[in-house]
Amino acid sequence: MEEDWFHGKMGLLPSITSQVNFSDLDRINRIGSGSGGTVYKVLHRPSGKLYALKVIYGHHEDSVRRQICREIEILRDVDNPSVVKCHDMFDHNGEIQVLLEYMDGGSLEGNRIHDEPSLSDFTRQILSGLYYLHRHRIVHRDIKPSNLLINSRKQVKIADFGVSRILSQTMDPCNSSVGTIAYMSPERINTDLNHGKYDGYAGDIWSLGVSILEFYLGRFPFAVGRQGDWASLMCAICLSQPPEAPPTASREFRDFIACCLQRDPAKRWTALQLLSHPFIIQNAGAANNQNNQVHQPHNLPPPRRYFSSS
């Protein structure tokens, strides 16, 4: 019998008021899968509304399940037009299942977006969501093309955070997929590069820069393939110079990528600073709407200069 584990036996987890009954959901088809789980398109029969249901692989210890539950409670409060909404969470046959906003266009993985105004608009939306998360002290830790979703209205939203962060703390790092490692910053892979200190916010910016450059080029921007062997991939990220946008790109785009892919994490721009970069603001125009506007917080360092003097 299906059972909502928030109200399950033994009282292992704090109770959360359910917004949707699990028994009212019908699976339509599978829309994606990865090392962490499988995502299904589901129909909520009473309302006729479509959702995405992420089924997380594995059976977890009670302490991990409680931690995931607390994290989901936080994620349900996240409300930003550039972040995929987390609606609810269930346990069916011991598997954790997360009910999410459905994005009918799928992920941006494998897309080449060579048109700079379009890429600027998509990047602005991602930055708006990333700024919101960072302002609320949420680090994503897994920004990559497959976690950037789009819908038929060309709204781009950040997905797959929170639970993946909790699970990463309970898993051997060697179990992480190479595709995820490919977007990690050098100092996250090799902690000696930053004296053992890791700034998750700066790490998200590096991952964003790699992803945006990949969209522009239509390929993974490092010399080695994204699915190459571990040693070659990590050497390329940690030892080689950060990738650059080609000379054929605009000056603004080349500088934007350079601001994201600074080897020193302290020199990387923040999400808020990047929202004021010429690559973003010169293409904003009518696409910039009231929902995505942000306000300058106090005690933030001033944006660094946009361009080098050369």
Kindly list the domain boundaries of the chain, sorted by start residue. 9-101, 116-165+172-292
Between CA 284 and CA 291 the distance in angstroms is 13
pLDDT for the residue numbered 92: 78
Helix (H) or strand (E) holding 86: strand 86-92
pLDDT for the residue numbered 238: 92
Mean pLDDT of 214-230: 88
Q: Which residues contact 305 (CB under 8 A, 6 or more apart)?
A: none
Between CA 304 and CA 307 the distance in angstroms is 9
pLDDT for the residue numbered 271: 98
pLDDT for the residue numbered 13: 39
pLDDT for the residue numbered 5: 38
Q: Which amino acid is at 154?
A: K
Sign of CA dihedral 261, 267, 270, 272: negative
**3 state SS of 193:** helix
pLDDT band at 191 (very low <50, low <70, confident <90, very high): confident
54 is in an annotated binding site: yes
Does the pLDDT value for residue 91 go beyond 60? yes
Which of 6-20, 88-102, 156-170, 189-203 comes out lowest in average pLDDT? 6-20
Residue 140 to residues 23, 88, 163, 165, 200, Cα–Cα distance (Å): 31, 19, 10, 7, 8
Does the pLDDT value for residue 70 go beyond 80? no
Does the pLDDT value for residue 303 go beyond 70? no
Does the pLDDT value for residue 86 go beyond 60? yes
pLDDT band at 297 (very low <50, low <70, confident <90, very high): very low
Does the pLDDT value for residue 291 go beyond 60? no
Q: 204-220 pLDDT, tens per residue?
A: 999 999 999 999 999 99
Does the pLDDT value for residue 1 go beyond 60? no
| Domain 9-101 top-level CATH class | alpha beta
pLDDT for the residue numbered 300: 36
Q: What percent of the chain has pLDDT over 90?
A: 54
Mean pLDDT of 243-259: 98
Which CATH code for domain 116-165+172-292? 1.10.510.10
Q: What global pTM score does this model have?
A: 0.82
Please identify every residue annotated as catalytic.
142
pLDDT for the residue numbered 58: 65
pLDDT for the residue numbered 162: 54
Q: 26-37 pLDDT, tens per residue?
A: 999 999 886 667
Report the first-to-last Cα separation within the chain, whole angstroms.
Answer: 68
Tokens 């946008």 correspond to 245
Mean pLDDT of 160-172: 53
pLDDT for the residue numbered 35: 61
Calculate the average pLDDT of the chain.
Answer: 81
Q: Which amino acid is at 301?
A: P
